[in-house]
Amino acid sequence: MESGTPVDGGFGTLLHRLRTEAGLSQEELAHTAGVSVRALSYMERGHSRGPQRRTVQALAGALGLDEAVARELERVASSGRPRKARTGSSPSPAFVPDAVGQAAAPDLLPRAPRGFHGRAAELDALSRAAEGEAPVCLVVGPAGVGKTALVLHWAHCGPAGFPDGRLYADLRGFGGTGEPTLMEVLREFLPALGVPLDRIPESENGAAALFRSLAADRRLLVVLDNARNSEQVRPLLPGGRRCVTVVTSRHRLPGLIVTDTARPVAVGVLGPQDGTMLLAAVLGRERVAAEPAAARRLAELCDGLPLALRVVAARLTQRPGSSLETMAAELSDETRRLSLLDVEDTGVRAALRVSLQQLPQDVSRQFARLGRHPGTHVDRYTAAALADTDPPAAEAALEKLAAAHLVTETAPGRWTMHDLVRLYARSLEVAPEALKRLLDYYVTTGLAAVAAAEPGNEECFPLPADYLPPAVVREFGDRAAAVAWYAVERDDLVSAVAAAHAAGLHDRAWRVVMTLWPLIVWRVRDGWVPLLETGLRSARTDADQHGESRVLNVLGWVLIEEGRIEEALARLRAAPALASRTGDPVAEANALLVLAMAQAALGDLDEAARGCERAVELARAADDRTIERLALQHLARHRADAGKWREALDTATEALAFDDRSGTADIPRILLLVVRGEALLGLGDKAEGIEQLDLAAREAESSGYEDGAVRALGVLLKVSEDTGLRARYDAAVTRLTTRA
């Protein structure tokens, strides 16, 4: 049934005329082009004057337009698209917290699916569900049915516009790699909305609250893909009146309907006609029309699952001379015995096997090795390590796999697999050392990252005796490059530790944990204890006392920062002796310093000072100036806390005479200046003490070391009524409480 007449005299009029000349109804054209009837009606009535280029191309193809007419349709459409406003006339940006910078509208959506066909009713239902105030749309259906493809197609081409950005997160509720935590998702959303990494709150509640506040006045689309249950979704709902949230799940999620009035959109399998048309959209109508029975048979063999149909189409595209009947015959033995309801991924596995057989041997080998990756994303380096090849060869194989729809490039140089494809890859036989090669790549790269991020610090550990070196080791030019690598790879590194521990590769598991120590130090309250416990178990199983001592050291420090002092002390007591038995004086000194922190936190300042004095002796014997300076810094702190002002002043002055560390913000120097200032105040030299504390505060503020700024300014406020100091202190506290 027609839904109105054209009124705009432009694109709508031209589209209406071309459709009428083709003898198609709106329903027929919408169905063939893969747009909703409502969207098509809006276009013809002038409510959508400038649809996107891909939509116009889909309409031109469905209408069978020749090249000249198709160009004219695109020209008229482009003339109706809105132009970007001049900078001088742009409206004022919405208010955001001080910690957040303004950024361009983010777009985290994966690319639109190619060859999408049909689903007119579902697209129309999704558009209706997205209307109103702060809607939550719940797209549900069985695995492999195309829920994600439907939502991405709608988001890229549908009638809804989201000028303030589009966010996307795969919640992995049904994959084999584990679900992301709330903080993992927010660590993608918040930077996309302009929040610097060092301003993301450490707590889940704080980060979620910041996300909601940023979304409150924006017109955002938030896609939460593959949700397992309602509880996983609720903390990520933006809540803004103009925000639209689309959730996909294999489950119905009735709880989300009850608590958040979610509007369900059911997605079922494709019928034989739509399955055939999907093949035609990828292979070409002529090829499918030449073998209609075989095309219909392929749709039936794939159980109407779009994922399976797309893999089959990709396979046939690589064999332009092969018939659809031949392909159907190859699939018949694998799928006709299987039911989607019984084993929902069997049809997909059969289709993937056929597709993989047609790829070059090196590409098939790379695909199988990807199944041994314990995380969710790979780059050219990790793929090369898995396949024991070089990064250019790995990247070429990944590009071929992407062309075959077996992997997806989610960001430049970052690939991932659909969960069902990943399960298939893991079922393939590969050389047993693939995981070990990946872990050794992570160990080597992690050591390089430590060296770039914390220059001058001791080496973490020697390499394993049976170490398998990667063909190429990633290099880091500076600290910023290392930090960027940690930020991107963090979750996959954590997954690698779990995989190493489960596979009995304990000598790798604790080493990967230790390569993360700079990140653990920077984000100490980020829930590291379970990971460190795994590393500790692996070090003990590996019977490596040096590794055990180092892991205990970091674990104890994290426990101290979490306020679990008694637990920390119980762990740390064994660390110095373990390091001593391995003949590593630097590791022993480090262990003594962390042990002293726990002792001081429990009030035993004299014992803490004695431990630091011993650490100074060990560092001097090892001629390690970095550890010696660090030990003097801790010793000065403990003496100051005990009110031993002269000893604290002398120790801090001695440590400050050391050469400053290069380039990076010198945190030990700032802390030593604070101790020196406190000691001078304690000795009655108020003027010099204030000068030292002010110097410490200014250096901390200029380097972004908010902890040091708060500490120095807090002491200054005890001896000064200056209102400027109070303002600086309050600003530092604000920055500290809103940082990442």
Contact between 640 and 648 under an 8 Å Cβ cutoff? The reply is yes
Reported in sequence order, the residue ranges of 250-301 that DSSP labels E, i.e. its strands, are 263-266
Closest CA to 351 of 374, 335, 368, 370: 335
Q: Which of 302, 500, 511, 301 has the alpha carbon at shortest distance from 420?
A: 302
**DSSP bridge partners of 140:** 249, 266
Tokens of 182: 């709330």
Contact present, 158 and 126 (Cβ < 8 Å)? yes
Residue type, 24: L
Gap between the Cα atoms of 716 and 691, Å rounded: 10
Q: Give pLDDT < 50 ranges for the chain.
A: 1-4, 84-102, 159, 334-347, 662-664, 740
pLDDT of residue 99: 43
Q: Residue 459 has what pLDDT?
A: 62
Predicted local confidence at residue 440, as pLDDT: 96
Name the packing angle between helices 346-357 and 324-335 (round to 10°): 130
pLDDT, residue 733, reads: 84
pLDDT on residue 665: 52
DSSP letter string, 423-479: HHHHTS---TTHHHHHHHHHHHHHHHHHHHHSTTPPP--PPPTT----SS----SSH
| Distance of alpha carbon 171 from alpha carbon 184, whole angstroms | 10
Q: How far apart are CA 103 and CA 124, in angstroms?
A: 32
Query: Is the pTM of the predicted complex or chain greater than 0.75?
Result: no
Residue with tokens 């590969």: 430
Among 505, 561, 557, 562, smallest CA distance to 534 is for 505
DSSP annotation string for 56-122? HHHHHHHHT--HHHHHHHHHHHHHTSPPPPPGGGPPPPPP--TT----PPPB-PPPPPTT----HHH
Cα gap 225→178, rounded to integer Å: 14
- The per-residue pLDDT for 346 is 42
Cα end-to-end distance, the chain, whole Å: 55
d(Cα 243, Cα 237) in Å, to the nearest integer?
9
pLDDT for the residue 652: 94
Cβ neighbours of 563 (radius 10 Å): 10
Residues in the chain: 740
Question: Would you state the pLDDT for residue 269?
Answer: 76
Burial label for 111, CB within 10 Å (0-12, 13-18, 19+), is exposed
CB atoms within 10 A of CB 518: 20
β-strand partners of 411? 414
Which residue pairs from 395-402 have beta carbons closer than 8 angstroms and sit at least 24 positions apart in sequence? 397/362, 397/363, 397/366, 397/367, 398/366, 400/359, 400/360, 400/363, 401/359, 401/363, 401/366, 401/367, 401/370
Euclidean distance between CA atoms 710 and 706, whole angstroms: 6
The tens digit of pLDDT for each residue in 29-72 reads 877 776 776 677 778 877 665 777 777 887 887 888 888 888 88
Structure confidence at residue 64 (pLDDT): 81
Give the number of other CB atoms < 10 A from CB of residue 240: 21
Phi/psi of residue 211, each to 5°?
-60, -45
